[in-house]
Amino acid sequence: MTDHNLVHRVNVGDALTRVAFARPETPAVVDGDRRWTYGEFDAWVNRLAHGLTARGYTTGDALALASANSAEFLAVYYACAKLGLVCVPINLGWRSGEVAYVLEHSRARGIVVERQLADAVAPAVAQVPAVADVILAPGTGGAAEGLDFDDVLSDDTSAPEVVVEDRAPLSYLYTSGTTAAPKGVVGTHLAIHLESMSAALDSGWRADDRFLAMMPMFHTAQLNAFCTPAVVVGATIHVHRGFDPERFLDTIEREGITQVFGLPMMYRAALDHPSFADRDLSSLRRAVYAMAPMPEAQIKACLDGFGCDFALLFGQTEMSPITTLFRPEHQLSHVGAVGTPLTGVQVGIMDPDGNLLPRGEQGEIVYRAPSTMQEYLRNPEATAEAFRHGWFHSGDVGFFGPDGVLWFADRYKDVIKTGGENVASIEVERAVYDTEPDVAEVVVVGLPHERWTEAITAVVVPKPGARIDGDDLRRRLKDRLDGYKVPKAVIVADELPRTSTGKIQKNVVRERHAGHYGGTA
């Protein structure tokens, strides 16, 4: 059975094994002053995998990972893949209670944590006795308690040979929904590998590409829309721990970067940098952005300034994540659209009764693809709801134009996409009510913002005779919410718009206040 599985299986870790065998001297990962060829990186991953096996980790065990972007992050992810372990990336913006929930819900056996994050993670780990191992990856921290990463490594550099089924889970990625408790998206080897191949195929990525990875790897977009496809084609990944416009431009010039991925605000910051005009960015072949289409003026400035193709990716964690690409040829002819389906993804528009709608008619965006998640972890009700009528339901509203290009119209779920994070508006609304007793009503929406794409904004109605100080309320909300969930502004209103049945009209709220931050997306 083992021999048969090793021959024909689909395993994300095998992509690394095969590239390392075919091109061992090709640069694989660059992290600061540290550089690995594919042969060296694969050997390192194998040593980690054998070391985890020696500690008793077996197929199906969950291993949490709390780390900013680093070579160690990728090594852990690929070691989990080769062993059939489930990697559980921790969002570094979560509070301790959310981390503890994820560790408990995922049934994590251990956690790999960067040394400088160990103290912040420790209270959450202490709440979950099942977490037996704390493995400390290199970092700048002090005397944290745990196993040293290097001490876990085995001397065995051979590829581990264990049975891992095609639809075995590779990751549990937790995503915010319309409730406070995040849902665990079960991503399989088959789903992530096929999405990685489609992303590379549709984007024209090659072995001589050099990727800059600066978006958080604990999000699926950076991890599975760029890093895993880069490994599939044998390209080089240059790791940045975040975005700094000067370092971004320096790295493109010095390393001859060909592929970048960022948010619209990052490209704006680079364009506005004093040194931009003097930079040689001729190595760039494509710049990809996410979250929302750019306004026409900005995409024109980007195309002129960077001198390369631009493309938008659209999708969601449950789809591993890409579903459509807003391709370079459509950037100026279809401003505001979200593209055409990725190879292997079928996209439909559905009415509430499960009927597929023709082009031009608006409804819920639904998908069929092998890249779809397996399920929501231990949540059969949410899984059944998402897969009803034989399609995966995105919760987004859109329509196809006459030429087959998809346009995003609105969201069924009130999830705000802000600065690369998804935030449930209901969670923020509850925090406002809990923080300020003088609030009679609150509605939280995302408004167009030059930097954040959508800025979380609370519109509050005070109780009769009460007065609310928006800035003071924002300060107090920081004690209840993660920083990125705190509203960028609190707008005090006399009343909220309602339908004839009394329901608050969030769309009208958005329209009324669309220009609050200047009116640019």
Per residue of the chain (521 residues), give pLDDT as tens: 789 999 999 999 999 999 999 999 999 999 999 999 999 999 999 999 999 999 999 999 999 999 999 999 999 999 999 999 999 999 998 889 999 999 999 999 999 999 999 999 999 999 999 999 999 999 887 678 899 999 999 999 999 999 999 999 999 999 864 345 789 999 999 999 999 999 999 999 999 999 999 999 999 999 999 999 999 999 999 999 999 999 999 999 999 999 999 988 899 899 999 999 999 999 999 999 986 678 888 899 999 999 999 999 999 999 999 999 999 999 999 998 999 999 999 999 999 999 999 999 989 999 999 999 999 999 999 999 999 999 999 999 899 999 999 998 767 767 788 888 878 787 898 899 999 999 988 999 999 998 898 999 999 999 989 999 999 999 999 999 999 999 999 999 999 998 544 568 888 999 999 999 985 43
- Which overall architecture, per CATH, does domain 2-11+40-188 show? 3-Layer(aba) Sandwich (3.40)
What pLDDT does residue 176 have?
Answer: 66
* Tokens of residue 335, six digits: 């401003």
Residue 339: name the closest of 313, 363, 321 by CA. 313
What pLDDT does residue 521 have?
Answer: 38
**pLDDT, tens only, 46-104:** 999 999 999 999 999 999 999 999 999 999 999 999 999 999 999 998 889 999 999 99
CA–CA separation, 57 vs 160, rounded Å?
13
For 115-144, b/e burial (b = at least 16 CB within 10 A) is: bbbbebbeebbeebeebebbbbbbbeeeeb
What pLDDT does residue 178 have?
Answer: 38
What pLDDT does residue 363 have?
Answer: 92
Q: Does domain 243-411 have CATH number 3.40.140.10?
A: no
What pLDDT does residue 503 have?
Answer: 65
Cα-based angle 370, 373, 375 (whole degrees, multiple of 5): 130
Residue at 327: amino acid letter: R
Please give the C-alpha separations between residue 339 and each of 116, 184, 194, 299, 417, in angstroms, as whole numbers: 40, 27, 19, 15, 18
In this structure, what are the phi and psi dihedrals at residue 481, rounded to the nearest 5 degrees?
-125, 150
Q: From the centroid of its chain, how far is CA 335?
A: 24
What pLDDT does residue 175 have?
Answer: 86
The fold of the 415-512 domain, in CATH, is: GMP Synthetase; Chain A, domain 3 (3.30.300)
Q: At a CB cut-off of 8 Å and minimum separation 6, what does 406 contact?
A: 314, 324, 337, 338, 339, 340, 341, 347, 365, 398, 399, 400
Q: Which residue has the tokens 């981390």?
A: 99
Pairing of strands 147-148, 169-175: unpaired
| Spatial contact of 188 and 374, defined as CB atoms under 8 Å apart | yes
Q: Which residue has the tokens 């990716």?
A: 313
What is the DSSP code (8-state) at residue 332?
T
What pLDDT does residue 473 have?
Answer: 96
Residue ranges, comma separated, of all CATH 3.40.50.12780 domains in the chain are: 2-11+40-188, 243-411
* Tokens of residue 113, six digits: 């944590």
What pLDDT does residue 177 have?
Answer: 46
* Tokens of residue 259, six digits: 């592929």
Q: Which residue has the tokens 């231990």?
A: 378
Residue ranges, comma separated, of all CATH 3.30.300.30 domains in the chain are: 415-512
- Taking the CA atoms of residue 430, residue 436, residue 442 and residue 448 in that order, the dihedral angle to the nearest 10 degrees is -90
What pLDDT does residue 264 have?
Answer: 87
Q: From the centroid of its chain, how far is CA 430?
A: 25
